[in-house]
Amino acid sequence: MTTETQSPSITLDYVKTIGIVNNGLNGRGFANPYDLAVSRDGRIFVLNRCDPARASAIRVGVLSLDEDYLYEFGDGAGNGDTQFRWPVCLAFDSQDNLYITDEVHHRVTVFDAEGNFLRKWGSQGSGDGEFNGPAGIAVGPDDSVYVVEQHNARVQKFTSEGVFLGKWGSHGDGAGQFNLPWGAAADSSGNVYVADWRNDRIQKFSADGQFLACFGSSGSGEGQFQRPTSVAVDAEGFIYVADWGNERVQVLDADGGFRVLLRGEATESKWAMEYFAANPEEKAERDRSDLKPKLPPHLNTPYHISSQTEPYFWGPVAVSLDREGRLYVVETNRHRVQVYQKR
Amino acid sequence: MSDSNIALMAHLMRRAGFGANRDELERFVEQGYEATVEELLEASNANSMPDDLIRRYHVEQSELRDLAGSAAYWMYKMISTESPLEEKMALFWHGLFATGYAKLNQARSQLNQVEMFRRSGLGAFDEMLLEISKDPAMLVWLDNQDNHGDAINENYGRELLELFSMGIGNYTEDDIKECARAFTGWTLGNAEYMSVRAYKDSIWPYGRIAWHFDYREEDHDKGEKTFLGETGNFNGEDIIGIIAKQDATAEFICTRLFQFFAADEVDEEGARCIAAMKETYFESGYEIKAVLRTLFNSDYFKSNDARFARVKGPVEMVVGAIRMAGSHQTPELGIERVSNNMLYMGQGLLQPPTVEGWHEGLEWIDSGSLVERVNFAGKELSDVSSPGVRAIIDRLAATGDGVLSPAEFADGCVDLLGPIAVGEGTREVLVDYAARQGDLDLRERQPGDESEQRVGNMLRLIAATREFQLA
């Protein structure tokens, strides 16, 4: 007699929205946030990619879950060690050092959690230790650092000091191949997951790059993806995917089975409420409005719907988890983060 | 393949598109003139730089909050489209139904309007008028959210008649009021909140919220109206039906199309061409595609009278130079600095100066804008690493034995950039310039070496000629 293993159940409850658009000055708020990571003590680190008009404010903002803005680091656009051009992703190691990729600088920069520059590595190229468009970055349980390169269509593995350990991948749509890959995650066993962006799938590898599984296909159905940008994995093996082109988040079980779909349900953040307290007339009109309107048919695409429906995800570019079972969904176009609690 | 066929095709592509390189022209000539006109008119699902790629790298072009990024987004589409007439028509309608960012603070919705121009730009004119009357950016631009059943606002009704369809002198003040009454209740979703946000330029708390059309029946004046001599309980659709069948409307839209695509000034022959376009307008059920087919296939359009009879607009200048150079074909950091050049030359996309659009023709040229035009086109065309410039060098190198006399060198460049009809004085200057360094020897050339750079310099000089400013 065989017993079917029942995979654990998962429910995600919406908790809150944090953030507000920041109009180019440093300080409170977000400017086109692109990724998020939570330190061991629960501080939230948000990578602000910023549009060109606000590039002088490219930075990492640090805040608490209660929206206390704590501090920030990074010195805007430039070529210095603490500057960026097009930063993409960030990840913590076990010591709370923060690794940030930049796809224009073709490098990884490492800061401590207080924002002090520690080291950097990489330059443009296709050799070992060189990068062409580094995007996703993940740190394994042994502090190995995995960097996804979109244009070299590969993953490189490094020590936390940046010593090259190995690589895998090539351009294509076969197993272990990539088409402009983006985000990455590592699970507690050291397996590595890659958001294979233009192949509309998630690939899973062992820590040394052996292909293990592939989840998803192109489309808008359950378990299908449209340009997935980011992936996260929790201790039970649930796989969270930022299904960016479909403007939604999906959760798969460890075998790739579809489990949860989120479309977003943003409410007013603490900072938003502070804004409306100072702008009561605008708030009054807002309260009389229907923020989930019925739209004409020519606007019936996920992108257009999200551009007109403020509570929904718009540009959900990154998913991230903390140690308390919270899911953070980063929305580039809405300059905010929606927080969910797993139970 | 005769030179005259290439020259005619180059003329068509400068007008119905943004110019074409020699490989493209040869392909078009091979398939024939009328077949090429049909290809331009019938293109659908045109390939251009994909949105997913643009949005991945350009957060500003994903959000489309600000003007600069939004103009750059449209420029990406223009420089990469395989259906140039679709974009050219969108530009035409953008100039005619001029809607500006300064008042709206809503670039995303302006680009939705541009997308509508792509979708409907070659369709029937009455359908286009209906689309623009339901376009939320236009409605806010002309205050129609303030046009109520019990208190009309005439702005949209007035401009619909004066600037969008018939032209002044073909209707009365009463017609304007009745027209405005018919469009009461035509507004945008959450109009009050969106108006406050637009007025305050509020991006708070989570960026802009794009707009959509909303019809408020309870705010519509359902009473009887008399418009252009007809009486009924007209709504906006009825008004547009009456407008579309007017001779003045046919004259207006055909003349505007003629001036945009054929010649800045209308002479006697041009007037005959417009008369034929009007005939097509009515025969086809007001179809813009049919009207343009008549224009492009007319003897007038193909004649020498129509060649170089227009001043290139700044958008044509920028997009044309980039397409000829083959540059900027993938998303790149700083692209908004490229598209800003259109603004410096006097034509910022999504920011026409007034509801009248841009004043075209010779008004594009003043001492400041001319410097911008020459500098920009010269920079693009002198970059010998750009694929389009490399293709020109390759063709020159394949001329004879790869050694070109100064005259062959200058004539070859003028030919491959157009062909452009340069006057004798201009040609002399170009040949003299070439002669300073003697024959051009491309036999042993290496990428970017001195011989190749001589070609780049010659192309830069041609970009500075009077003739290059004309389309």
Look at residue B69 in the predicted model and tell me its pLDDT. Answer: 97
Dist CA B441 CA B435 (whole Å) = 12
What distances in angstroms separate CA B80 from CA A196, B43, B116, B327, one per listed residue? 25, 14, 19, 10
Q: Does the distance separating the beta carbons of A20 and B206 come in below 8 Å?
A: yes
For the whole prediction, is pTM greater than 0.90?
A: yes
Chain A: closest CA distance from residue B205 (Å): 5
| Contact with chain A for residue B216, Cβ under 8 A | no
> What's CA A279's distance to the chain center, in Å?
32
Q: What is the pLDDT of residues B158-200, one digit of tens each?
A: 999 999 999 999 999 999 999 999 999 999 999 999 999 999 9
Please name the residue that has the structure tokens 């300059």: A335
Amino acid in the structure at residue B56: R
Q: Does the distance separating the beta carbons of A293 and B59 come in below 8 Å?
A: no
Best B134, B206, B339 residue to mutate vs chain A (most A CBs within 10 Å): B206
In DSSP terms, which residues pair with A201 in a beta bridge? A196
pLDDT by residue for chain A (343 residues), tens digit each?
444 456 789 999 999 999 999 986 778 999 999 999 999 999 999 999 999 999 999 999 999 999 999 999 999 999 999 999 999 999 999 999 999 999 999 999 999 999 999 999 999 999 999 999 999 999 999 999 999 999 999 999 999 999 999 999 999 999 999 999 999 999 999 999 999 999 999 999 999 999 999 999 999 999 999 999 999 999 999 999 999 999 999 999 999 999 999 999 999 999 999 999 999 999 999 999 999 999 999 999 999 999 999 999 999 999 999 999 999 999 999 999 999 999 9
Instruction: List the single residue in B52, B197, B213 with the smallest CB-CB distance to A227.
Output: B52
- Among residues A249, A263, A127, the alpha carbon closest in space to that of A183 is found at A249
DSSP notation for A21-81: B--SSSSSSBSSEEEEEE-TT--EEEEE---GGGGGG-EEEEE-TT--EEEEE--SBSSST
Q: What is the pLDDT of residues A109-163, one digit of tens each?
A: 999 999 999 999 999 999 999 999 999 999 999 999 999 999 999 999 999 999 9
Q: Kindly state the percentage of chain B with pLDDT values over 90.
A: 98
Q: What is the pLDDT of residues B284-327, one digit of tens each?
A: 999 999 999 999 999 999 999 999 999 999 999 999 999 999 99
Instruction: List the single residue in B62, B68, B119 with the smallest CB-CB distance to A332.
Output: B62
Chain B: closest CA distance from residue A83 (Å): 15
| Contact with chain A for residue B221, Cβ under 8 A | no
Residues of chain B neighbouring A51 (CB-CB closer than 8 A): 58-60, 63, 65-66, 69
Residues 55-94 of A with CB under 8 A from B: 85-86
What are the structure tokens assigned to B434, written together?
Answer: 């070439």
| Contact with chain B for residue A295, Cβ under 8 A | yes
Residues 111-150 of A with CB under 8 A from B: none
Look at residue A5 in the predicted model and tell me its pLDDT. Answer: 53
Instruction: List the single residue in B51, B62, B190 with the smallest CB-CB distance to A315.
Output: B62
Amino acid in the structure at residue B367: S
Dist CA A343 CA B62 (whole Å) = 33
Nearest CA in chain A to B209: A308
Look at residue A23 in the predicted model and tell me its pLDDT. Answer: 81
Q: What is the ipTM of this complex?
A: 0.97
| Contact with chain B for residue A285, Cβ under 8 A | yes
What are the structure tokens assigned to A308, written together?
Answer: 């007109």
Q: Give, rounded to a whole angstrom, the gap between the first and last alpha carbons of chain B.
A: 22
Instruction: List the single residue in B69, B202, B205 with the smallest CB-CB distance to A52.
Output: B69
Do B148 and B200 contact (CB within 8 A), yes or no? no
Measured torsion, CA atoms of residues A147, A148, A154, A158, in degrees rounded to the nearest 10: 0
Q: What is the pLDDT of residues B358-399, one digit of tens each?
A: 999 999 999 999 999 999 999 999 999 999 999 999 999 999
Chain B: closest CA distance from residue A6 (Å): 38
| Contact with chain B for residue A34, Cβ under 8 A | yes
| Contact with chain B for residue A298, Cβ under 8 A | yes
What are the structure tokens assigned to A257, written together?
Answer: 């089975």
Residues of chain A neighbouring B338 (CB-CB closer than 8 A): none
B205 preceded by a cis bond (ω within 30 of 0): yes
What are the structure tokens assigned to A240, written together?
Answer: 């969270």
Q: Does the distance separating the beta carbons of B189 and A290 come in below 8 Å?
A: yes
Look at residue A6 in the predicted model and tell me its pLDDT. Answer: 63
Do A37 and A43 contact (CB within 8 A), yes or no? no
- Among residues A274, A307, A283, the alpha carbon closest in space to that of A18 is found at A274
Neighbour-count burial for B52-72, b at 16+ CB within 10 Å, e otherwise: bebbbbbbbbbbbbbbbbbbb
Look at residue A3 in the predicted model and tell me its pLDDT. Answer: 44
| Contact with chain B for residue A51, Cβ under 8 A | yes
Q: Which residues of chain B have pLDDT under 70?
A: 1, 45
